[in-house]
Homo-oligomer: A and B are copies of this chain.
């Protein structure tokens, strides 16, 4: 299973191996194959195969051994030219990178707890995350996978980024102007929420040419509702595809389907959303999940679904009031009225991606060494009763290598697919693949391969998820880094590698270690993002707008302490409480200078948070420990930062 074992045929540099990996071979990967791949990493990987002479031409790009004008290493003070918006996997966070330098500029606490910013500590963040009846956080863990930006006219508008939580089935929204999470929604009756994608145009009103909905793929099938019933009978387990309103962040509707969904993609014309599916068998053990030779890419006719709901053709599940339509295969046999359309693809596919020209959806084989190219208009024709066989929407299904997972695009007709088992990226030409599939076996659709380090998952080019795909460079998230960085003990970083794609051949540019474990990411031209660098004090209803409004305000044992910060002091030098008080501290940072953030920590009371310029935050706690507590500024602000304190005195 190591790279050295791969034999390429003369035609398309395709591994000359079994078309499908069978169950026994895959189970064995853990013991032998994958282990060999993993332990052989210290050997120099073979150079990528030479590009065949007949490969489709990429636009002129001079031979370049290094980064050329990509400015991989900005000089001190120089800015990057792209934002990378990265999911943080089961760190629960989102990250903002500068690219091409790969420098991490910000972490955006989302589903996790972050004691730097006070995320999960302040009342404002707790209201977003959600609390139990006793006021404590409902969840402190999360697993972000896929992150996508909101669209206008087929490209990013920089307004929002959406990201899922796989553990608890939630979707979060990140504001693009401040890079902070402002909404989290828990989706009912799902488990293992994997992929998301915003729509790019309204499926009902074509005049609305921007994102209004986000679609959510549900991976694990469970009883409906999941209250203890049907636990022993996996045949009764179900999955739901969910539509969330991008503005209100409320769940609009759900659609029941067969199979386990991972990734989601949407059409540029707004009509269709799609999700790759594995385990259409409905198995509860991994061998059962890959017994069938074919799974599916399921397409959703959004307009028809919303019409069905309008017509009352839905049910609800348990306590949830969300309308649920039936999108199972069995219930949608007539294409002309079908809400869904199941396009068969080789077993256990992973990843579905829409090409920037709007024409194709590409499904990666995972357990099949193939990519399947589905032509969007043909799916629409099938749904309109104009195509007799849904299989005719498959315009190519070509071998590209072992373990294909995700695909991205350069905007020049080429696709780049990660090959997990080969530890490679394969660059292939979509038109050439279609010609090959149509019968012209002389066409060489594979343009290039490059070794990556190691076991790649997601991949994304600059603006590759938009119609403005730039074709400059790509990032690839390698799940294993092994020997690529200084050793730091048993837990390794992941390796986000950067690759130049301007020429016909790919050129490896850089390794970037990242804390586990990013899944997906998007690369956004910097002019798409317009940030607000100082808050507006009026945006906070509880703001303390003047230092003279500071004070301790008591109603029985409920006490509100109003404070402002202005370097190097808080407006109260001390404040007194009584043991047993229920205390709310409201702090407004009246400093207006950009970057002049203050912190507020209370020793032994387990409180810390920051207030950015002109921002207001609050915390609520019980004053249960008498004594003197020096609340201090934790965020270096001034030459007298160390002296910036206020004494909280809790009387016995």
Contact yes or no, A90 B262, CB < 8 A = no
Contact yes or no, A594 B482, CB < 8 A = yes
| CB of A428 closer than 8 Å to a CB of B | no
Contact yes or no, B603 A168, CB < 8 A = yes
Contact yes or no, A227 B77, CB < 8 A = no
Contact yes or no, A647 B284, CB < 8 A = yes
Most chain B beta-carbon contacts within 10 A, residue among A566, A637, A647: A647
Q: Which residues of B contact A593 (CB under 8 A)?
A: 34-35, 38-39
Give A167's nearest chain B residue, CB to CB.
B601
Give A493's nearest chain B residue, CB to CB.
B105
Among the 9-residue stretches A11-19, A96-104, A377-385, the one with 4 or more Cβ atoms under 8 Å from chain B is: A96-104
Identical subunits present: 2
| CB of A113 closer than 8 Å to a CB of B | yes
| CB of A465 closer than 8 Å to a CB of B | no
Contact yes or no, B574 A489, CB < 8 A = no
Partner among B27, B489, B612 whose Cβ is within 8 Å of the Cβ of A532: B489
Q: Chain A 598-642, CB within 8 Å of chain B: the 1/0 string?
A: 010111101110101111000000000011111010111111101
Contact yes or no, A486 B604, CB < 8 A = no
Contact yes or no, A490 B350, CB < 8 A = no
Q: Which residues of B contact A521 (CB under 8 A)?
A: none
| CB of A413 closer than 8 Å to a CB of B | no
Could you tell me which residues of chain A, from 215 to 265, have a CB within 8 Å of some CB in chain B?
219-220, 222-223, 226-228, 231-232, 237, 262
| CB of A441 closer than 8 Å to a CB of B | no
Most chain B beta-carbon contacts within 10 A, residue among A83, A89, A141, A191: A141
| CB of A295 closer than 8 Å to a CB of B | no
Q: How far is the CA of A169 from the CA of B603 in the complex (A)?
A: 8
Contact yes or no, B606 A139, CB < 8 A = yes
Partner among B220, B482, B597 whose Cβ is within 8 Å of the Cβ of A595: B482
| CB of A6 closer than 8 Å to a CB of B | no
| CB of A107 closer than 8 Å to a CB of B | yes
Contact yes or no, B107 A228, CB < 8 A = no
Q: Tell me the smallest distance from the CB of A588 to a CB of chain B, in Å.
A: 13
Q: Tell me the smallest distance from the CB of A351 to a CB of chain B, in Å.
A: 11
Q: Tell me the smallest distance from the CB of A484 to a CB of chain B, in Å.
A: 6
Give A237's nearest chain B residue, CB to CB.
B628
Among the 9-residue stretches A175-183, A297-305, A429-437, the one with 4 or more Cβ atoms under 8 Å from chain B is: A175-183
Among the 9-residue stretches A56-64, A386-394, A508-516, the one with 4 or more Cβ atoms under 8 Å from chain B is: A508-516
Q: Which residues of B contact A511 (CB under 8 A)?
A: 74, 76-77
Among the 9-residue stretches A146-154, A285-293, A327-335, the one with 4 or more Cβ atoms under 8 Å from chain B is: A285-293
Q: How far is the CA of A491 from the CA of B175 in the complex (A)?
A: 13
Q: How far is the CA of A652 from the CA of B490 in the complex (A)?
A: 40
Q: Which residues of B contact A512 (CB under 8 A)?
A: 103
Most chain B beta-carbon contacts within 10 A, residue among A114, A237, A531, A591: A114
Q: Which residues of B contact A112 (CB under 8 A)?
A: 113-115
- Which range contains the number of A residues in contact with the other chain? 35 or more
Contact yes or no, A115 B98, CB < 8 A = no
A601 and B90 contact, Cβ closer than 8 Å, known pairs A220-B630, A610-B491, A639-B403:
yes
| CB of A643 closer than 8 Å to a CB of B | yes
Q: How far is the CA of A454 from the CA of B203 in the complex (A)?
A: 49
| CB of A497 closer than 8 Å to a CB of B | yes
Contact yes or no, A492 B597, CB < 8 A = yes
Contact yes or no, B90 A591, CB < 8 A = no
A526 and B486 contact, Cβ closer than 8 Å, known pairs A139-B606, A516-B635:
yes
Contact yes or no, B73 A73, CB < 8 A = yes
Q: Which residues of B contact A403 (CB under 8 A)?
A: 639
Contact yes or no, A533 B613, CB < 8 A = no
Q: Which residues of B contact A479 (CB under 8 A)?
A: 636-637
Q: Which residues of B contact A573 (CB under 8 A)?
A: 284-285
Could you tell me which residues of chain A, from 408 to 424, have a CB within 8 Å of some CB in chain B?
420-421
| CB of A406 closer than 8 Å to a CB of B | no
Contact yes or no, B141 A601, CB < 8 A = yes
Contact yes or no, A227 B490, CB < 8 A = no
Contact yes or no, A497 B231, CB < 8 A = no
Could you tell me which residues of chain A, from 325 to 368, have a CB within 8 Å of some CB in chain B?
348, 350, 366-367
Give A632's nearest chain B residue, CB to CB.
B192
Q: Which residues of B contact A223 (CB under 8 A)?
A: 627-628
| CB of A651 closer than 8 Å to a CB of B | yes
Q: Which residues of B contact A141 (CB under 8 A)?
A: 115, 121, 601, 606-608
Contact yes or no, B515 A116, CB < 8 A = yes
A191 and B603 contact, Cβ closer than 8 Å, known pairs A403-B639, A489-B533, A612-B490:
yes
Could you tell me which residues of chain A, from 308 to 332, have a CB within 8 Å of some CB in chain B?
none
Q: How far is the CA of A116 from the CA of B143 in the complex (A)?
A: 8
Q: How far is the CA of A615 from the CA of B490 in the complex (A)?
A: 9
Q: How far is the CA of A515 from the CA of B79 in the complex (A)?
A: 17
Q: Which residues of B contact A488 (CB under 8 A)?
A: 96, 105-106, 179, 531
A603 and B192 contact, Cβ closer than 8 Å, known pairs A220-B630, A608-B167:
yes
Q: How far is the CA of A484 from the CA of B486 in the complex (A)?
A: 27
Q: Which residues of B contact A643 (CB under 8 A)?
A: 278-279, 286, 289-290, 348
Given contacts A73-B510, A96-B486, A228-B579, 8 further A-B contacts (CB under 8 A): A90-B115, A113-B113, A169-B603, A180-B491, A220-B630, A228-B652, A290-B643, A490-B533
Could you write out 11 A-B pairs with CB less than 8 Å apart?
A29-B638, A34-B593, A79-B486, A80-B486, A115-B142, A141-B606, A166-B632, A167-B601, A179-B488, A179-B491, A488-B531
Closest 5 CB pairs of A and B: A228-B626, A178-B489, A490-B612, A286-B643, A30-B567
